[in-house]
Structure 1
Amino acid sequence: MLWFAAPPVAPGSTEGTFETIDVARLRVGMFVRLDVGWMNHPFPVSQFRLSSPAQIDVLRSTGVQQVRWSPALSHLAAEAAPESPAAPTAPEPPKADPAADELCRQRDALARCEQQFAEVADALRDITRAVPASPLLAGRQADALAHALVRKLGDAGDTCVQLLADAAADDGTGHAVNVSVMSLLLGRALGCSPAELAELALGALLHDVGKLELPPERWHAQPASGALHQSAYRSHVALGVAQARRMALPRRAKLVIAQHHERDDGQGFPMRAAGGRIDPLARVVAIANRYDNLCNGPWPGQALTPHEALARLFGEEAAAFERSLLEHFVRVVGVYPPGTAVQLSDDRYALVVAVDPARPLRPRLLLHEPGRPATEAAFTELATQPRLSIRRSLRPEALPPEVRRQLAPRSRLRYFWEGVPAPADTTPPAGAM
């Protein structure tokens, strides 16, 4: 059973008018919006269409007395609509179109992921704004957000990494959310416990918190940067550790902040720690952080494609990371990670948009089809196409102009996980409001 039978409204959308309603009057089919904050309720997103009585029971059990709902976005039977007149006989539904249904399902999944990313980014932005004046409060809020991410990852069951089409976030916040998402997926693949995942998420969310005390021009360093610039940039680690102490973060989250630039070969900074001296959670974040910096660096002309970034990690930077962690990372993001432009064995072009860790060589693709509008581009799962394979990856600028216009390769990559929550246990997690 899918918990969400319809896509959430995109953040900022004005579609539909929302009205307040008592939770006791909720009915299946209502499109509701929860205003208590993403980390304070047990659902993957904050607005969705109620698809089962179990969802209503969970919502009532949280203690929320009222929510808002949109009549225009709801799908209610005439007898279920609150205080509504009898509706005319519904027309006969159109015949099922499997291809159209699958396209809707893919778009629904993408919309959910984009909303989840946006809600996490908004929460993190508020937290970082609170750090200078209220570090303890910011620490508690960050810890709550980290636990919410872990809880919602657990609810998602099996997951795949989804490339987002539109995820509004500044580069710093977007980077932190990307690193957190990839770190959590890698940590779960490695068998981390929920407690370890919570500290992993917390450290990943705040791994660059020290940059809040630096001017933006010191947030990044190129190899050709002078010694003074390099020293100022590298100081963000020590500044972050000091900030983590003021925020009263737990020990291993502080270690993630302290060691996310250390390398297995001892060539990292600031302590040149190596091997077993690096905390395992920090090793996870170090890989996710390096991968995202290679793909989403501050200078777009120097950014690598996701496939090139993996090749760099396994090639000239292989000594920096434990081999088994890199192999697990490839299983999470795929051999051709989301965002990679590819040419297929039948010469068609495509963009990788999602990867199932169980099939790292058989991702989901957005296919180029000549003459077809970009808004109607077709998806396909390589896992269901045994005769089709990826021949090679391409840089976006190497794509023919028509292909590039239709597939619209992303200049900034944003990721979230896609999954279907297990419906068996409808008891809200501890601490849900």
Structure 2
Amino acid sequence: MNSPIPIKVDELRLGMFIQLPLSWLQHPFPTSSFRITSGEQIGLLRSLGLSTLHYIPAKSVPEAQVTEGDSDPQPPQALQPKNESGTQADDTQARDTSSCHARYQHASLTYGQIMADASRQPLGARAVAQALVHECMAELEDRDSCAIRLLADCHVDGTAAHAVNVMVLALLLGRSLGLHEQRLAELGLAALLHDIGKSALPRHVAEPGAPLAGAELQRYRAHVGESVALGQRMELPSDVLIAIAQHHEAADGSGHPLQLLAEDLGQGGQIVALINAYDRLCNPLFGMPPLTPHEAVSELYAHRAARFDSGILAAFIRLMGVYPPGSLVQLLDGRYALVTRVHPAQPLRPMVKLPAAPGEAFTLDLAQEGAPAIRRSVRPSQVPPEILDQLQPGSRICYYFERVAAPPEKDGAP
């Protein structure tokens, strides 16, 4: 029988091919239709809060023919990073994080220099900006696999942090889209300098901590034109200037300042606009409450998809994962965790930070055998305060990239 049949969640068994009545971002599985191969999957399905779903008998197999694909989660104390002691793994993570912090701090300080010099020494500021972008591109060269790393306690200027975040994610997204070197360099430059015109604005207008109105709101929106004008003085390439000019436009015509439509937008402008929107959901202006990275991705996918190119949006979601770094999650075993690193090849099995002894925490790679899966995303208000203090998610989301080993192929993989 090929027709779907309703079934109660409590009646699920191994071998059933099921269909979920949920969008991709509302559940932790790679697809919404699949055959159940493990008890862990059944546990996750029951945790979704559904009373019934559908299964297709024709695509199902008897339970006796199913080999458990995943073992049940082990108790928390049994979980240690594979082939390493907890101390060794945490030391490695600490070194990697320290290196990312240093590179991020360097990029942020360099951006501050560019902002200070752009008006009086525009060509010198352009040279510094180009050198920074090429430094980042050089770090990406010969790296078959890069993961996105969360940087907590990132005490840098908000304007600089935003610029570096957008540049880092734009370079990674452009790389995943297959942009050649020159186009990638121009994308990185536009991403870094998209708000350069804010250097002429008062601090309370450039980085407003409360809603603006009237003349001040118009002055804030004028930063797009100011950025283009300053970019012209810096003699930036035309494609860079176009991307800067379009970083607040939207494919459905709802953006500003020109209300352009999709056919009028360049790829660079659409990429910068998407990443700018994502970072402003996580690190908002105008006194708006921040969204968690998971909520931000969900908002873009579920409510703002018409504003962006569908292919670029899909590539961005693949890059960030369902639970981007900085997301607070609850695991299947009930523990709360902070996502600290996402490997594009295993978006549902990120690296997380877990509470240990009071005042301490340790990292765990959820891709390792026996590690629990993620049950759901949670907001900070849903996490017990003493656990939240140990996880220390930070008030600002900052990202950098690091080289990671490609995950081993599973037996039978092509």
Q: Does 1:415 find its partner at 2:402?
A: no
Partner secondary structure for residue 395 of structure 2: coil
Is the 8 Å Cα contact of residues 221 and 230 (structure 1) preserved in structure 2?
Answer: no
Question: Deviation string for 1:298-338 (max 9, x for gaps)?
Answer: 35661111111111101221111112211111111111111
| Matching residue of 1:175 | 162
User: d(CA) in 2 for partners of 1:97 and 1:394?
Assistant: 29
Is the 8 Å Cα contact of residues 147 and 198 (structure 1) preserved in structure 2?
Answer: yes
TM-score (norm 1): 0.71
Structure 2 portions without partners, runs of 5+: 1-82, 407-414
| Matching residue of 1:72 | none
Provide the identity percentage: 40
| Matching residue of 2:309 | 322
Structure 1 portions without partners, runs of 5+: 1-95, 423-433
Check 1:312–1:318 CA distance in 2 against 1; reply closer, same or farther (3 A cut).
Answer: same
Q: Does 1:373 find its partner at 2:362?
A: no
Q: Does 1:346 find its partner at 2:310?
A: no
Is the 8 Å Cα contact of residues 300 and 411 (structure 1) preserved in structure 2?
Answer: no
User: d(CA) in 2 for partners of 1:254 and 1:195?
Assistant: 15
Letter in 2 for 1:399: V
| Matching residue of 1:396 | 380
User: d(CA) in 2 for partners of 1:348 and 1:237?
Assistant: 44
User: d(CA) in 1 for partners of 2:126 and 2:362?
Assistant: 44
- Between 1:152-161 and 1:219-228, the stretch displaced more is 219-228
1:362 to 349, 368, 378: 349
Is the 8 Å Cα contact of residues 163 and 416 (structure 1) preserved in structure 2?
Answer: yes
Q: Does 1:245 find its partner at 2:229?
A: no
User: d(CA) in 2 for partners of 1:407 and 1:114?
Assistant: 18
Question: Deviation string for 1:159-209 (max 9, x for gaps)?
Answer: 000001233310000000001011111111111111111101111110001
User: d(CA) in 1 for partners of 2:394 and 2:316?
Assistant: 21
| Matching residue of 1:78 | none
User: d(CA) in 1 for partners of 2:241 and 2:163?
Assistant: 15
Check 1:127–1:380 CA distance in 2 against 1; reply closer, same or farther (3 A cut).
Answer: same
Is the 8 Å Cα contact of residues 155 and 421 (structure 1) preserved in structure 2?
Answer: no
Instruction: Kindly report the root-mean-square deviation, in angstroms, between the aligned alpha carbons of the 2 structures.
Output: 2.1
User: d(CA) in 2 for partners of 1:353 and 1:338?
Assistant: 5
Letter in 2 for 1:349: Y
2:267 to 265, 270, 280: 280
User: d(CA) in 2 for partners of 1:365 and 1:204?
Assistant: 28
User: d(CA) in 1 for partners of 2:88 and 2:257?
Assistant: 52
Partner secondary structure for residue 303 of structure 2: coil
| Matching residue of 1:145 | 132
What displacement does 1:155 show? 4.2
Partner secondary structure for residue 357 of structure 1: coil
User: d(CA) in 2 for partners of 1:174 and 1:156?
Assistant: 24
- Between 1:131-140 and 1:177-186, the stretch displaced more is 131-140
* 1:327-338 aligned within 5 A: 327-338=314-325
| Matching residue of 1:112 | 99
| Matching residue of 2:6 | none
Q: Does 1:121 find its partner at 2:108?
A: yes
Check 1:103–1:279 CA distance in 2 against 1; reply closer, same or farther (3 A cut).
Answer: same
User: d(CA) in 2 for partners of 1:413 and 1:300?
Assistant: 16
What displacement does 1:419 show? 0.6
What displacement does 1:339 show? 0.7
Question: Deviation string for 1:366-424 (max 9, x for gaps)?
Answer: 0123x3432xx2211111145611111111122101101110111101100011599xx
Is the 8 Å Cα contact of residues 330 and 360 (structure 1) preserved in structure 2?
Answer: no
Is the 8 Å Cα contact of residues 249 and 259 (structure 2) preserved in structure 1?
Answer: yes
Check 1:162–1:97 CA distance in 2 against 1; reply closer, same or farther (3 A cut).
Answer: closer
What displacement does 1:229 show? 3.0
Is the 8 Å Cα contact of residues 149 and 340 (structure 2) preserved in structure 1?
Answer: yes
